[in-house]
Amino acid sequence: MKKIFFFLLSISIISTAVAQKKENKYAAVDAYVKKLGSLDSFNVATIADTITRSFDDKEKKARAIFYWIANNIALDPKAVRANDTKKTDPVIVVQTRKATALGFSLLVQEMCSMANIRCLSVDGYTKYSVEDINNPADAPNHSWNVVQLGKSPEEWFYIDAAKASGSLDSRFTIFTPRFISGYFFADKKLFNLDHCPDNGAWLLGEGTKSVKEFYALPMIGNYAYEIGLQKPTPATGFFKAKTSGTTRFSFNYNESTAIKTIDIILGEGKRQSKPEAAEFSDGGGQISFGYKFKKDDSFPVKLVVNGETLIQYLAEVTE
């Protein structure tokens, strides 16, 4: 019995160590760049050299660039609403410290090029509101980067410095800064639930085959990148349910973050309900629970995990 106990304890310790190692992989790079500060008086080339010169490894150089940009450049709500191309020039972005998503991606591309890292800017689609589900944008509305570290397809990686910097409200009027580490070399399956490139050549790994198919998916929240969300159910953003039945929800996560609470919030704005705590089960990295809708109507459904928005749906509930 003691042998079994110590074996299980060893497995637990190893699993925790692996999770912590993954979580702290870039801690030294981040701390170094953070200590350098905002480098207000420097130009693009000088900033790129200053934040990368201490690293020989291209991955660490790319991380330094990502970290500095995501923590020192803000999304400009006015420029985003107006699709202002002036806020895309790397020189102006560094001078004003504001940019559109395209401005972020072009600055990442420019600095990576200066660090001798192959990096391309990618235009495509993302969802900014739950109302975007099944409502495709007329034109690309977001930009991010792909970085190449080796010759094989597996050595191409995603970077989204714009989303990593924080978020805009659904009306594009207020920017809330908040660094999200998971948008660097993001999990490809998760990233492809949240992004759709305008050119299929820049789809890394498995993803949707069309813009219409992408907009049929749920809206992914920033917290999904912190817990490593995988295989959410329902798999589509819009679903039908009955008050007489139970709707099943489930998702996988990476277990490096403990799932303590899950709340369900229905509606939006003034019609938003109070959070309802879900009784969930955790089967070793797979969360599952059921929910019975009490009234027939159509409304957004938000899953909030540990107080953070994980994923959003649209539901049509009938008796």
Ranking 26-30, 166-170, 206-210 by mean pLDDT, the lowest is 166-170
97: left (phi over 0), alpha (psi -120 to 50) or beta: left
Looking at the 3D structure of the chain, how many domains does it have?
Answer: 2
Distance (Å, whole) CA 162 – CA 104: 6
Q: Both 237 and 178 in a single domain? A: no
Whether the pLDDT of residue 1 is over 80: the answer is: no
Mean pLDDT, residues 54-69: 97
Helix (H, G, I), strand (E, B) or coil at 146: strand
CB 241 within 8 A of CB 317: yes
Residue 168: which H helix or E strand, with range? strand 166-168
Residues 6+ positions from 149 with CB-CB distance below 8 Å:
58, 59, 62, 117, 155, 156, 157
* Domain that residue 277 falls in: 231-318
Distance (Å, whole) CA 37 – CA 15: 34
pLDDT at residue 23 in the model: 54
Q: Given the structure tokens 């996560």, which residue do they identify?
A: 253
Q: Both 61 and 120 in a single domain? A: yes
Tokens of 215: 């907009």
Query: What is the band of 9 on the pLDDT scale with cuts at 50, 70, 90?
Result: very low
Considering 217, 250, 268, which residue would you say is the last residue of a domain?
217
2 domain residue, yes or no? no
The reported pTM is 0.90
Q: Both 265 and 308 in a single domain? A: yes
Q: Both 132 and 275 in a single domain? A: no
Q: Which residue has the higher pLDDT, 5 or 98?
A: 98
Q: Both 65 and 130 in a single domain? A: yes
CB 99 within 8 A of CB 73: yes
Mean pLDDT, residues 68-91: 92
Q: Given the structure tokens 């139970």, which residue do they identify?
A: 246
Residue 196: which H helix or E strand, with range? strand 196-197
Mean pLDDT, residues 81-89: 84
Tokens of 203: 């789809």
Mean pLDDT, residues 62-73: 98
300 domain residue, yes or no? yes
8 domain residue, yes or no? no
Ranking 21-30, 32-41, 154-163, 292-301 by mean pLDDT, the lowest is 21-30
3 domain residue, yes or no? no
Whether the pLDDT of residue 81 is over 70: the answer is: yes
Q: Which residue has the higher pLDDT, 18 or 275?
A: 275
Q: List Cβ<8 Å contacts ≥24 apart for 27-36.
A: 29/55, 29/60, 29/63, 29/64, 29/67, 30/63, 30/67, 30/181, 32/64, 33/64, 33/67, 33/68, 33/71, 34/67, 34/71, 36/68
Residue 194: which H helix or E strand, with range? helix 188-194
How many other CB atoms are found less than 10 A from the CB of residue 230? 16
Residue 5: which H helix or E strand, with range? helix 2-23
181 domain residue, yes or no? yes
Q: Both 272 and 209 in a single domain? A: no
CB 216 within 8 A of CB 133: yes
pLDDT at residue 16 in the model: 39
Considering 217, 239, 271, which residue would you say is the last residue of a domain?
217
pLDDT at residue 167 in the model: 93
